Amino acid sequence: MKTIGIIGGGQLGRMLAMAAARLNFRTVVLEPQPDCPAAQVANDQIVAAYDDPRGLDELARLADLITYEFENVPVSAAEQLARSRPVFPPPKALEVAQDRLVEKRFINGCGIATAGFHPVDSQADLEAALAEFGGAGVLKTRRLGYDGKGQRVFRSAADDPAGAYVALGQVPLILESFVPFDREISVIAARAPDGTTACFDPAENVHRNGILHTSTVPPSVGGSTTEAARKAATTILDALGYVGVIGVEFFVLADGGVVANEIAPRVHNSGHWTEAACVVSQFEQHIRAIAGLPLGDPSRHSDCVMQNLVGDDIARVPDLLAERNVLLHLYGKAEARSGRKMGHFTRLL
Ligand SMILES: Nc1ncnc2c1ncn2[C@@H]1O[C@H](COP(=O)(O)OP(=O)(O)O)[C@@H](O)[C@H]1O
Ligand SMILES: [Mg+2]
């Protein structure tokens, strides 16, 4: 039986490990936090930092191939592993996705529209960039942002940028033009080593406090919009020589046009609905792709809404269990801290 190494021990790693087990793969998780969500269902855990050379050596020794469940895996770690084991998605995808400036340039290089942007490395850069965008824009740290963290929105020239560069930590930033979107959608797509691709249907995403709240499928957008989003996702997969599942987030404009927001080189929260509404989930699709197995059929058999259970939402579990057509998935986290993703459910419609 082959063993898949998973870097990162959160809920995405947990769901990957469960999908891997169903296809007769063993899994070993590299994660510094003992008894993490993924390790609870994996065969083995290496308790070490993601860049600990001994932990990485151990992972390469135990695993036949290696993947990851979050995009901030140090590129050097992925490259070290890639010298002795297949690492999928390719480390190049990490390089692109880890830095919002590199990512936007890469996406534009694929011929796909993004928000306008300027690198910001000082308060003076910020003020110049804001002036170019008429005083509105979204300032983000180039690295390590997630769930809306490390961001500041300027809605108009009345929003005073004083102190913003310091407030975001004096790290490399990017100012994006403010995209007046109607909706947000995402595409979860997969690419196999032979270049075959498969896209799940786009989901329409609603965020609350910067955290994904619901993903609804099908989205309330026209066919030309979903087609453009699928095409953009496929173009990105091909450009990266990608193997595995990717998540690509888009803004949808009033005229139905799509603007790419960001890519996640991994399974994605907005694809959790696939475990309830498709025969092959995004998690199994990822395992199939990296293991060189045929990709599954991405078509859905049901319309659905996925909702995250964040913090105290966990109290809804007894009621959700009593509902028909609801698939509940909990992540094995002991403490329901505010803002923490504790689980999700998908309601088939
Ligand atoms: N340039 C932008 N214009 C308008 N809204 C934006 C822009 N960038 C981000 N947002 C809003 O903020 C949310 C989080 O930003 P995103 O870049 O996706 O960061 P994260 O990594 O936190 O998901 C987006 O889903 C969108 O709602
Ligand atoms: Mg996002």
- Give the list of residues 6+ apart from residue 226 with CB closer than 8 angstroms, or none: 185, 201, 202, 218, 219
- Average pLDDT value for the chain: 97
CATH number at residue 237: 3.30.470.20
Burial (CB count <10 Å: 0-12, 13-18, 19+), residue 332: middle
At 279-295, the pLDDT tens digits run 999 999 999 999 999 99
Please report, in angstroms and rounded to a whole number, the separation of the first and last CA atoms in the chain.
38
In this structure, the answer to whether residues 193 and 341 fall within a common structural domain is: yes
> Is the CB–ligand 1 distance for residue 145 below 6 Å?
yes
- Give the list of residues 6+ apart from residue 349 with CB closer than 8 angstroms, or none: 302, 303, 304, 305, 325
Output the CA 114–ligand 1 centroid distance in Å: 12
Name the pTM for this structure: 0.97
CATH number at residue 152: 3.30.1490.20
Output the CA 223–ligand 1 centroid distance in Å: 24
Nearest to 105 by CA among 260, 217, 230, 253: 260
Q: Using an 8 Å Cβ cutoff, are 178 and 136 in contact?
A: yes
Cα separation, 100 vs 33, whole angstroms: 27
Residue whose Cα lies nearest atom 16 of ligand 1: it is 148
Q: Which of 42-56, 143-157, 193-207 has the lowest mean pLDDT?
A: 143-157
Residue 102 domain-assigned (yes or no): no
Nearest atom in ligand 1 to 145's CA: 21
Burial code (b: 16+ CB inside 10 Å, e: under 16) for 69-91 equals: bbbebbeebbebbeeebbbbbbb
Domain that holds residue 274: 181-348
Tell me the mean pLDDT in the region 290-318: 98
Residue whose Cα lies nearest atom 8 of ligand 1: it is 138
Tell me the mean pLDDT in the region 251-277: 98
Q: Using an 8 Å Cβ cutoff, are 320 and 345 in contact?
A: yes
At 247, is the pLDDT very low, low, confident or very high (cuts 50, 70, 90)?
very high
| Structure confidence at residue 148 (pLDDT) | 86
Cα separation, 168 vs 165, whole angstroms: 5
Tell me the mean pLDDT in the region 249-265: 98
Residue 93 domain-assigned (yes or no): no
Residue whose Cα lies nearest atom 12 of ligand 1: it is 148
> Is the CB–ligand 1 distance for residue 147 below 6 Å?
yes
The number of domains in the chain is 3
Q: What is the dihedral of CA 192, 198, 203, 207, to 10 degrees?
A: 10
**Residue whose structure tokens are 């855990």:** 45
* Cross-strand partners of 199: 189
At 307, is the pLDDT very low, low, confident or very high (cuts 50, 70, 90)?
very high
At 241, is the pLDDT very low, low, confident or very high (cuts 50, 70, 90)?
very high
In this structure, the answer to whether residues 294 and 319 fall within a common structural domain is: yes
| Structure confidence at residue 217 (pLDDT) | 98
Tell me the mean pLDDT in the region 218-224: 98
Tell me the mean pLDDT in the region 108-133: 98
In this structure, the answer to whether residues 150 and 237 fall within a common structural domain is: no
Nearest atom in ligand 1 to 147's CA: 22
Ligand nearest to the CA of 178: 1
Q: Tell me how crowded residue 41 is: count the other CB atoms within 10 A of its CB.
A: 17
CATH number at residue 14: 3.40.50.20
In this structure, the answer to whether residues 187 and 329 fall within a common structural domain is: yes
Tell me the mean pLDDT in the region 241-267: 98
In this structure, the answer to whether residues 163 and 294 fall within a common structural domain is: no
In this structure, the answer to whether residues 337 and 297 fall within a common structural domain is: yes
In this structure, the answer to whether residues 123 and 39 fall within a common structural domain is: no
Output the CA 152–ligand 2 centroid distance in Å: 14
Does position 205 have pLDDT exceeding 90, yes or no? yes
Q: Are strands 203-208 and 183-191 parallel, antiparallel or unpaired?
A: antiparallel
| Percentages of the chain per state (helix, strand, coil), in multiples of 5 | 30, 30, 40
| Structure confidence at residue 4 (pLDDT) | 98
At 140-187, the pLDDT tens digits run 999 998 888 999 999 998 999 999 999 999 999 999 999 999 999 999
Pocket test for ligand 1, best of 99, 100, 138 (most atoms within 8 A of CB): 138
Cα separation, 96 vs 191, whole angstroms: 17
Tell me the mean pLDDT in the region 122-144: 97
What count of residues does the chain have?
A: 349
